[in-house]
Structure 1
Amino acid sequence: MNVRTPPDDVATMQFGIGQPVKRQEDPILVRGEGRYTDDVSLPGQLYAAFVRSPHAHGVLKGVDAEAARAMPGVVAVYTAADLAPMNYGALKCVMGFANRDGSPMTKPVRLALASDKVRFVGDPVAVVVAKTALQARDAAEAVTLDIDVLPAVTRVEDAIKPGAPLLYDEAPGNRILDYHYGDAEKVAAAFAKAAHVTRLSLLNNRVVVNAMEPRAAVASYDRKSGRFTLYAPSQGVFGKRNNLADAMGVPHDKMHLVTGHVGGSFGMKGSVFPEYVCLMHAARELRKPVKWTDQRSESFVSDHHGRDMEVVAELALDKRGRFLATRFTGYGNMGAYLTAVGPMMTTLNIAKNSIGMYRTPLVEVNTVCAVTNTVPIGAYRGAGRPEGNYYMERLIDTAAAEMGIDKVELRRRNMVTPEQLPWATPAGTVYDSGDFPGLFDRALEAADWKGFTARRRDSHRRGKLRGRGIGCYLEVTAPPSNEMGGLHFEADGTVTIVTGTLDYGQGHWSAFAQVLHEKLGVPFGRVRLLQGDSDKLIAGGGTGGSKSIMASGAAIVEASELVVEKGRRVAAWVLEAGVADIEFAKGRFTIAGTDRGIDIMDLAARLNEGLDLPPDLPKTLSVDHVFKQAPSAYPNGCHIAEVEIDPATGETEVVSYVMVNDFGTVVNPMLVEGQLHGGVVQGIGQALMEQTLFDEDGQLVTGSYMDYRLPRAADAPPVFTFESRPRPTPHNPLGAKGCGEAGCAGSLPSVMNAVVDALSGYGVRHVDMPATPLAVWTLIQEASRKEAAE
């Protein structure tokens, strides 16, 4: 159960909405007092290790575990044949997209362990359970697999070719989905009449998620109640509990999910993974808890990967540079199996998010989603939102260069103005608030756009190439679903917020406590947060899609209003006044026009002590409330990056970074800025260094930190310039828009546009991500040789 209590020394502080309150979670974590899943140990627990396919593709003819079963400490070995009689459910893809012809997309069944074929390196085939973790891992290495190796395919373009290796009989040509969005005839007509058309082939490179905390789980089973309990990291326990129950084939109330601290997720830990089914099976069969903790090298092939899309992006413009239509035609690599939301990122989220803050009349998306012999693709920070913005911003810079129009002016000509709001887009979304031109102009000013020429000259004197890039973005957040906002006034004088969203690094405790302090006057230091125990919740949409403060924040606001109504009735009886005469402000109930009153915490304490009340009055101020769904919000901003490139090595350094954002009401500006810093550096990693490579046999070449480069502190800009220009949304009680994914959405286009700008003197018009030193150096050398030849 994830319950957090703040230090006593902040008990009297009062921090409301809009104040830069320090994260009260941090002292616990830096003292090493966090409780992550691997910190959980249950009496008598056993340990599990997984046997994974060493081949990317092949027919699984047999699993020989006899030697493993005979090894010291081994209690059991399970294969797909052992799980089959239990009729466990499949690991589901919840997306329901239709093909271009209206037929449903193909959803190949994935069970916990491979049975007929293995489809990627790392595909789990068996699980070994032993008395110690080392014994389990040693025995797992003794299991031998009889696999008839088949040719592998790792790229979608190759997978859909005639004669390509086929992963599933039910997916001819390896095609899962032939997706189409938009009015193809109208888009074609717009392109036909356009004065100019810009086309770019763009690669959205695959990334490894690399959460700080590897996945882990501890499973137990109670035979009397028939209930499973799983301790595992998640992004919200309520919905995932239901998904786990479905996978195990039991009613939802027979599943209990507990999540403690979570060391990062970025979308990945929200899913049900095969390991969890195997652990719960073993716990039931062996009548003992079973624990598993992923190894870092194993995480590279057992976790989901992110991104991986190739697209031809097109922008049609009239002679004045006004946008007429966009069209995106490409491929989405799903990996070997469909994850819960695997097809979403390369399809609908491109349609919704590529429009950005521009008056784009028409949009068309054509995506072939296919399976390959690679690690499955799942949601990764932004889940299609950064990609859509990246495609559009690269198109705009390229169109500006081709048409001889200043890139700033081209954007201004096409931005939706405040007077045009609400603005209905061709993707079915409606922008409700914002000042895109004003925000854009402020970003240019903050970045000293006019002073760039002098900075470029200075870089040139030092032998460096300097470039600048704009990354305007507007993203569609996930719509806030039903979310719990329980407020429990405890006997010890604290107030517990119960919520179905879940903090995996964001700092929810502090932000939610600020909302509660603002609305009820509850002392900031007397607020607790309960978020990770499914038995304590009645609803919960989980954290994802930048919706937590909109959903949980709104639930807290509405629950606070219910508390006030209950409190007014009790206070009227205590103060011997009429309910209509009771007012509430700043944590105190008072009789209107007098100084007679009672603080809300004192009233709650008297109720907890057993205040003798008439039977028709509430006996507690506590409430359990569910906030109903609200529309999506549209956080937006402009990021401007400057880079320096060493032409001798191709090394790129981000030397300046400015971001001006509209997140609506900002509850805690310090937390928001921190979220942006992390997201920006994550985007820099994808733009400049992160590269996931498979060889022709489907082996992951970049399978460790020796081969896969993550951004480090030295790769971050020396200074971040951060500003907010909030325009609150009218569609949730706080007016918040969400911020968690905005860093990536702004950094991918701004950094890559800056790289292209720096190389423009060599005639370079496009660079694919990642712009590694080798890739940049090669472009410079090719351009130099071409110039010499001419």
Structure 2
Amino acid sequence: MDSFDDTHLALMKFGVGQPVSRKEDPTLLRGEGRYTDDINLPGQAWAVMVRSPVAHGILKGIDTTAASAMPGVLAILTHADLAAAGFGPLKCAVNIPQRDGSPMKTPPRPNLAIDRVRFVGEAVACVVAETRSQAKDAAEAVGLDIEELPAVTRPADAVKEGAPQLHGDAPGNVALDFHYGDAAAVKKAFAEAAHVTRLEIESNRIVVSAMEPRSAIGSYDSESERWTLRVGCQGVMGLRGGLARDVLQVPADKVRVLTGNVGGSFGMKSQVYPEYGPLLLASKRLGRPVKWTDDRTESFLSDHHGRDHQRIAELALDKDGRFLAVRLTGYGNAGAYIYPPLQATTNAVKNVIDVYATPAMEVNSKIVFTNTTPVGAYRGAGRPEANYFMERLIDTAAREMGIDRAELRRRNHIRPPQLPYKAPSGMNYDSGEFTAVLDKALAAADWQGFDKRKHESAKRNKLRGRGIGQYLEVTGPPAKEYGGIRFEADGTITMLSGTLDYGQGHATPFAQVLSEQTGLPFERLRLLQGDSDQLKVGGGTGGSKSALVASQAFLEAGDKLIEQGKQIAAHVLEAATAAIEFARGRFVIAGTDRGVSIMELADKLRGGLKLPADLPQSLDVSHISDNP
């Protein structure tokens, strides 16, 4: 069997959709994963954060005298130290316009509290010592003089007159008064509706509790004047940008972010956190790396929380059960500081229509500051909540109107003849057979046989229930993504991506995509991610976009590889570039059996193949893909 057939069989075995052994698994299953807390650098010191024990108060003083004298203590940093070093506060990366068009209120978040604490767990000081135990002991000896103030924890209470105010530039504690939709059309639809279903729904606050707590190691190189942060995150380029721009206030090329294995994130590790600034400053001052790892109690207080929305959800229907309009009104809890509040705003807008033809919609959301841990992105970031609101409304409307809940869904599905369908959310539906999907699911679940199963369960004193719901999620937010291909001296091929695997499993599907397209051996492909020095851009991982944007980046990079390979192969085969064809990993002269594989070209280049100056000098590719 010749090499052409071998390559073809390999492509069939390792291509997209084929059942292959995951590249990610062996290292993790052997316990050889390298998470941030597994790393200990020479000369490393330890940091522990002193946190506020009260939800709201005036910070009158910090007494570090006793703590500074304790064994092993190297430094105790407060906001004054960061300010003197020129460090800036954390800033919200997204500004959504208010109802009146004015900008959202985005008071900056200090790395360490300045003159006020706004939630239990807010970092006030950073204690650095030779060991973690010494740092923890000293942190307990730091004295905080706090004049406790009234606190407010629920948005509906925070907007009331006389409620405690968290930020002077956010009157009434409202960060954002958001509106989307045709209010007049929705009002008319509800006025003319034969039936209106109304629900009060709360999406409760969630503590993320990733298996791996947050951890970071800061270091500074005085010769190059570069900062390095080793940290578990969802994307090194975004984190580098936030650190450089807002906190360190230096050019981005002065910052390196390194991320190894990450033990879960779910959105929580996507942001720049306040602990990173003090770690980096302490490292510069002490001339040695400084490490911090939170414990589980600390993570409950300081990790961004999720959800926490309160909604009035309303659905207007005609006498036949056809949807006329949907309206969401309510609050999103920002916590003490604001991060991009997409959950209760734009993501709710895009997803609440779901798979149902709904002529009009309106979303009203107030994002409100409270004396609680800040809320960030978590598992869908508002998309599943919006779907949940609609599905709850449908089930309730079905009961109230005496219509079978599956039938009510069928009546309101967006149907193939309506496609492409422009929803009032602004989303374009280009395809979908939602009724067929529902009917197949009902048949597979033996929906009609449920009563018999319920009766049999009752005989055994068991309760049996059932639920139904359909879900169409808007994912894949726009992002520039990097796709690099590098042929190494040992014969392996490195794929470089700005995404970041924190449990998804990227190495296998990305290798399948590139192997199928180019014929590169699947077993020789390895994925490199998590090093900002190796990348040009990177959107990180979030919003269910990595398989889409990274695959596109690698496909486009693969196209460049093939074009470069054609030019080099033409030189090797002594033919015109236009005469070179590519298929299944080989470049051949059209109409002949003369050819050379990509890997053979790579071997020749490693062996010192001399090429004319006007030809590509390697097969390596560096590509930036734009996903608008």
TM-score (norm 2): 0.96
1:641-674 deviation line (CA, Å, top 9, x unaligned)? xxxxxxxxxxxxxxxxxxxxxxxxxxxxxxxxxx
Name the counterpart of 1:685.
none
Map residues 486-501 of structure 1 onto 2, 5 A cutoff. Answer: 486-501=484-499
Name the counterpart of 1:683.
none
1:476-520 deviation line (CA, Å, top 9, x unaligned)? 113231100111111211111111011000000011011011101
Q: Is the 8 A contact 1:316 1:324 kept in 2?
A: yes
Q: Distance in 1 between matches of 2:539 and 2:605?
A: 32
Q: Is the 8 A contact 2:476 2:548 kept in 1?
A: no
SS at match of 1:467: coil
Name the counterpart of 1:275.
275
User: Which runs of no fewer than 5 residues in structure 2 stay unpaired?
Assistant: 1-9
Name the counterpart of 2:3.
none
Deviation at 1:592, TM superposition (A): 2.1
Q: Is the 8 A contact 1:309 1:333 kept in 2?
A: yes
Is it true that 1:621 corresponds to 2:614 in the alignment?
no
Q: Distance in 1 between matches of 2:333 and 2:227?
A: 34
Which piece of structure 1 moves more, 28-37 or 610-619? 610-619
Name the counterpart of 1:97.
96
Name the counterpart of 1:678.
none
Map residues 131-142 of structure 1 onto 2, 5 A cutoff. Answer: 131-142=130-141
Q: Distance in 2 between matches of 1:147 and 1:240?
A: 32
Name the counterpart of 1:122.
121
Name the counterpart of 1:230.
229
Q: Is the 8 A contact 2:231 2:257 kept in 1?
A: yes
Name the counterpart of 2:365.
367
Q: Distance in 1 between matches of 2:457 and 2:387?
A: 29
1:1-54 deviation line (CA, Å, top 9, x unaligned)? xxxxxxxxxx99941111232322111011111111111222111110000011
Q: Distance in 1 between matches of 2:144 and 2:194?
A: 61
Q: Distance in 2 between matches of 1:398 and 1:41?
A: 56
Name the counterpart of 1:527.
525
Distance 1:387 1:12, change over 3 A: closer
Name the counterpart of 1:216.
215
Q: Distance in 1 between matches of 2:620 and 2:436?
A: 44
Name the counterpart of 2:5.
none
The sequence identity of aligned pairs, in percent, is: 61
Alignment-mate amino acid for residue 304 of structure 1: H
Q: Distance in 1 between matches of 2:311 and 2:350?
A: 16
Q: Is the 8 A contact 1:575 1:597 kept in 2?
A: yes
Is it true that 1:41 corresponds to 2:40 in the alignment?
yes
SS at match of 2:622: coil
Alignment-mate amino acid for residue 39 of structure 1: D
Name the counterpart of 2:191.
192
Alignment-mate amino acid for residue 364 of structure 1: E
Q: Is the 8 A contact 2:92 2:108 kept in 1?
A: no
Q: Is the 8 A contact 2:268 2:304 kept in 1?
A: yes
Q: Distance in 1 between matches of 2:590 and 2:432?
A: 39
Runs of 4 or more off by more than 3 Å in structure 1? 11-14
Name the counterpart of 2:17.
18
Q: Is the 8 A contact 1:14 1:523 kept in 2?
A: no
Q: Is the 8 A contact 2:11 2:516 kept in 1?
A: no
Q: Distance in 2 between matches of 1:14 and 1:489?
A: 22
Alignment-mate amino acid for residue 195 of structure 1: A
Alignment-mate amino acid for residue 555 of structure 1: A
Map residues 630-649 of structure 1 onto 2, 5 A cutoff. Answer: 630=628
Q: Is the 8 A contact 1:14 1:517 kept in 2?
A: no
Q: Distance in 2 between matches of 1:408 and 1:263?
A: 39
Deviation at 1:578, TM superposition (A): 2.5
Which piece of structure 1 moves more, 16-25 or 366-375? 16-25
Name the counterpart of 1:301.
301
CA RMSD, 1 decimal: 1.3
Q: Is the 8 A contact 2:343 2:381 kept in 1?
A: yes
SS at match of 1:615: coil
Map residues 390-789 of structure 1 onto 2, 5 A cutoff. Answer: 390-630=388-628
1:103-138 deviation line (CA, Å, top 9, x unaligned)? 222111211001111111100000000011111111
Q: Distance in 2 between matches of 1:457 and 1:526?
A: 57
1:450-489 deviation line (CA, Å, top 9, x unaligned)? 2211111122112122211112111111323110011111
Q: Distance in 2 between matches of 1:12 and 1:44?
A: 49
1:581-615 deviation line (CA, Å, top 9, x unaligned)? 22211111122233222111111111122112222
Q: Is the 8 A contact 2:332 2:367 kept in 1?
A: yes
Alignment-mate amino acid for residue 138 of structure 1: D
Q: Distance in 1 between matches of 2:468 and 2:154?
A: 31
Name the counterpart of 1:285.
285
User: Which runs of no fewer than 5 residues in structure 1 stay unpaired?
Assistant: 1-10, 631-790
Q: Distance in 1 between matches of 2:86 and 2:413?
A: 54
Q: Distance in 1 between matches of 2:12 and 2:87?
A: 51
SS at match of 1:206: strand
SS at match of 2:470: strand
Q: Distance in 2 between matches of 1:576 and 1:448?
A: 66
Q: Distance in 1 between matches of 2:88 and 2:445?
A: 54
Q: Distance in 1 between matches of 2:370 and 2:563?
A: 57
Deviation at 1:306, TM superposition (A): 0.2
Which piece of structure 1 moves more, 162-171 or 536-545? 162-171
Q: Distance in 2 between matches of 1:489 and 1:265?
A: 32
Aligned residues: 618
Name the counterpart of 1:329.
329
Name the counterpart of 2:57.
58
Q: Distance in 2 between matches of 1:236 and 1:433?
A: 32
Name the counterpart of 1:165.
164
Is it true that 1:151 corresponds to 2:150 in the alignment?
yes
Name the counterpart of 2:253.
253
Name the counterpart of 1:265.
265
Q: Distance in 1 between matches of 2:587 and 2:438?
A: 45
Map residues 323-362 of structure 1 onto 2, 5 A cutoff. Answer: 323-339=323-339, 341=340, 343-362=341-360
Which piece of structure 1 moves more, 574-583 or 527-536? 574-583
Name the counterpart of 1:111.
110
1:315-341 deviation line (CA, Å, top 9, x unaligned)? 0111111111100011111111112x2
1:319-365 deviation line (CA, Å, top 9, x unaligned)? 111111100011111111112x2x21011111111110111111101
Q: Distance in 2 between matches of 1:457 and 1:482?
A: 55
Distance 1:418 1:608, change over 3 A: farther
Alignment-mate amino acid for residue 236 of structure 2: V
Q: Distance in 1 between matches of 2:351 and 2:259?
A: 32
Name the counterpart of 2:176.
177
Q: Is the 8 A contact 2:175 2:369 kept in 1?
A: yes
Alignment-mate amino acid for residue 335 of structure 1: G
Alignment-mate amino acid for residue 453 of structure 1: D
Q: Is the 8 A contact 1:563 1:621 kept in 2?
A: yes
SS at match of 2:14: coil
SS at match of 1:562: helix
SS at match of 1:568: helix
Is it true that 1:388 corresponds to 2:386 in the alignment?
yes
